[in-house]
Amino acid sequence: MTSPPRLTVYRCPDDGQLVAARADACSTCGRSDLEPHEVSGDGFVVVWTTIHVPPTRYAGEAPYTVVIVELDCGLRTMGRLIGDSGRELGAHVWLHHVDTERGPIFEPVDPM
Amino acid sequence: MREVSIAGVGSTPFGKLPDSGIVELAADACRDALADSGIPRERVQALYLGNFIGERLADQGALAPVVARRLGLDGIPATKVEAACASGGIALRHGYLTVTAGIHDVVLVAGVEKMSNIPTGDVTAALATAGDEWLEMRTGLTFPGAFAMVMQAHMARYGTSREQIAAVSVKNHDNGAANPKAQFRKPTTVEEVVNSRFVAEPLRLFDCPPISDGAAAAVVCTADIARQYAARSVRILASGQGSGPVALSGMDDLTSFPATVRAATEAFGQAGLGPGEVDVAEVHDCFTIAELVATEDLGLVPPGHGGRAVEAGETAVDGRLPVNPSGGLIAKGHPVGASGVGQVYDLALQLRGEAANQVDGARIGLAHSMGGCGAAATVHILARD
């Protein structure tokens, strides 16, 4: 089995605090020159929703599922979820890829 | 700090109003409020206008000066206030602040939105601009989707049931049925709510407010001027405002909005009152679950008890603490920039004893308006003058 892709987040050079977006400042010390940092794309589903009424730009894609994932590093991030089997609080998912428009795309980790 | 009153209020109906543009709607509500106050137009010194997405949905920027000129108030400072769905509530706060600080004596506050002539996908996209585009909305999340996540978190943490959440919609539809300004004038049932079509699973159509046009306005002035002109005025005892995370993934707890807690703490502190002294509340029920969370964050019920309270009838018009007797955003309608001022319109009528669903002996009213998924919130406490 090949290892899944990793996710780029941002890390405060002072205290190691991780944040999801480059535009954010460190939530602990306020420092803004954060450095890119790769973390595991593994995590669990905090909450999910399946969108049936989409915004115009994704009109042809509904229904699709969006999840908040708590990554193994403790940071929470949002992304799409492929398929139906991960639509469960606590479901184990990992990063499939990062889409240039839609951001992180996760998939359920097959329990088999 | 000076004592501040609302000398008059006005409102268009909320709903599909194809014959009125955004400027006409705002001007109509303002004229109503001025007539209700008895204060001559010439005494108005400033306009604060709440509006969220007029540039995008009605192709009109510089909206506050346009409305001021339409009212014959050309030349006064006219300011648009934008804080997503809290725009109207925060416009009221700015009017209140300038009067209590002694900068102005008479200020016109209004809120307006024009949405019903726009395709649903475009309205959904425009509303989604209140979220964090890079971190979240580009995934395809919508506002119903964001509150669907809050709904799941509340159900998982507190055991809140689907039927309890549906009871908010049933209560607010019952209330809207009697409100002549409301968009929905028909009762519904728990069965109808839980079988309506999905908008964003697990949230369904009857958990949502409609897409609405509408405007509301209030004349805010010193208590002395209100006594001089107005037949029936209400006092603004307190005004609080807070902000919180724009992104849901930045919230430690998806079942509570820190912006609401901060605004409520400030407002209750100013008023020298506690949640138990509120007789009637209009809270931001942008979705059924949002009303439950609001009642908890405002301290009207203990954390996690929102579902039980609505199911037991505590928040009905004849309950221990009536919440959204107007029908709320869900039944009255949600022209987003107008909603916060619309709440104050309804509360003023409650405190004057003139409301459609009159709460017996209402003396203290609370208005809570929230923008985004907890990005901004404001709380006003009003009293019978």
Q: Are residues B13 and B149 in the same domain?
A: no
CB contact, 8 Å: A84 with chain B? Answer: no
Interface of A with B in 34-53 (CB under 8 A): 46-53
Interface of B with A in 239-258 (CB under 8 A): 247-250, 254
> Do B211 and B120 meet the contact criterion of CB atoms below 8 Å apart?
yes
Query: What is the predicted pLDDT for the residue at B241?
Result: 98
Domain hosting B34: range is: 4-118+211-235
- B190 vs B188: CA distance, rounded Å: 7
Query: What is the predicted pLDDT for the residue at A28?
Result: 82
> Do B152 and B203 meet the contact criterion of CB atoms below 8 Å apart?
no
Residue tagged 């192709």 (tokens): B59
Q: Are residues B144 and B288 in the same domain?
A: yes
Q: Are residues B183 and B217 in the same domain?
A: no
Query: What is the predicted pLDDT for the residue at B111?
Result: 98
Domains of chain A, CATH where assigned: 7-108 (2.40.50.840)
Residue of B nearest to A24 (CA): B135
pLDDT in tens, chain B (385 residues): 999 999 999 999 999 999 999 999 999 999 999 999 999 999 999 999 999 999 999 999 999 999 999 999 999 999 999 999 999 999 999 999 999 999 999 999 999 999 999 999 999 999 999 999 999 999 999 999 999 999 999 999 999 999 999 999 999 999 999 999 999 999 999 999 999 999 999 999 999 999 999 999 999 999 999 999 999 999 999 999 999 999 999 998 999 999 999 999 999 999 999 999 999 999 999 999 999 999 999 999 999 999 999 999 999 999 999 999 999 999 999 999 999 999 999 999 999 999 999 999 999 999 999 999 999 999 999 999 8
Catalytic residue flag (residue B85): yes
Q: Are residues B227 and B258 in the same domain?
A: no
Residue of B nearest to A77 (CA): B249
Catalytic residue flag (residue B334): yes
- Among B235, B250, B274, give the residue marking a domain's end: B235
Q: Are residues B330 and B352 in the same domain?
A: yes
Q: Are residues B271 and B367 in the same domain?
A: yes
> Do B153 and A62 meet the contact criterion of CB atoms below 8 Å apart?
no
Q: Are residues B194 and B339 in the same domain?
A: yes
Question: A101, B138: Cβ pair inside 8 Å?
Answer: yes
pLDDT (tens digit per residue) in A11-62: 999 888 898 877 778 878 888 889 999 999 999 999 999 999 999 999 999 9
User: For residue A111, is pLDDT > 70?
Assistant: no
Contact list, B247 vs chain A (CB under 8 Å) = 20, 78
Q: Are residues B90 and B165 in the same domain?
A: no
Residue of B nearest to A21 (CA): B135
Band (pLDDT 50/70/90 cuts) for residue A2 is low
Annotated active-site residue in B173, B284, B334, B368: B334
ipTM confidence score: 0.95
Q: Are residues B77 and B152 in the same domain?
A: no
Question: B200, A52: Cβ pair inside 8 Å?
Answer: yes
Which residues in B209-346 belong to E strands, given as ranges?
214-222, 234-243, 280-282
Give the total number of structural domains in chain B: 2
Distance to chain A for B203, nearest Cα, Å:
8
Q: Are residues B110 and B170 in the same domain?
A: no
Angle at A15 between CA A9 and CA A17, to 5 degrees: 30
Q: Which amino acid, B212?
A: S
Question: A55, B124: Cβ pair inside 8 Å?
Answer: yes
Question: B248, A61: Cβ pair inside 8 Å?
Answer: no
Question: B141, A49: Cβ pair inside 8 Å?
Answer: yes
Residue tagged 């964050």 (tokens): B297
Residue tagged 């849901």 (tokens): B248
Q: Are residues B319 and B218 in the same domain?
A: no
Query: What is the predicted pLDDT for the residue at A26?
Result: 84
**Which of A7, A47, A96 would best serve as a mutation to test chain B binding (most B beta carbons within 10 A)?**
A47
For residue B91, what is the domain's CATH number? Answer: 3.40.47.10
- B359 vs A95: CA distance, rounded Å: 53
> Do B338 and B109 meet the contact criterion of CB atoms below 8 Å apart?
no
CB contact, 8 Å: A104 with chain B? Answer: yes
User: For residue A112, is pLDDT > 70?
Assistant: no
Contact list, A76 vs chain B (CB under 8 Å) = 249-250
B270 CB-near residues (< 8 Å, 6+ apart): B237, B238, B239, B240, B381
- B250 vs A13: CA distance, rounded Å: 20
- Among B201, B235, B269, give the residue marking a domain's end: B235
Question: B152, A89: Cβ pair inside 8 Å?
Answer: yes
Q: Among A112, A105, A111, which residue's Cα sits nearest to residue A5?
A: A105
Give one DSSP letter per residue of B115-149, joined into a string: -TTS-HHHHHHHHGGGS-TTTTGGGT--HHHHHHH
Query: What is the predicted pLDDT for the residue at A109?
Result: 93
Residue of A nearest to B251 (CA): A76
Q: Are residues B248 and B306 in the same domain?
A: yes
Cis bond upstream, residue B202 (ω within 30): yes
Q: How much is the mean pLDDT over chain A? A: 91
Residue tagged 């809140």 (tokens): B160
Within 13 Å of residue B171, how many CA atoms lie on the same side as its CB?
29
Query: What is the predicted pLDDT for the residue at A32?
Result: 86
Question: A47, B135: Cβ pair inside 8 Å?
Answer: no
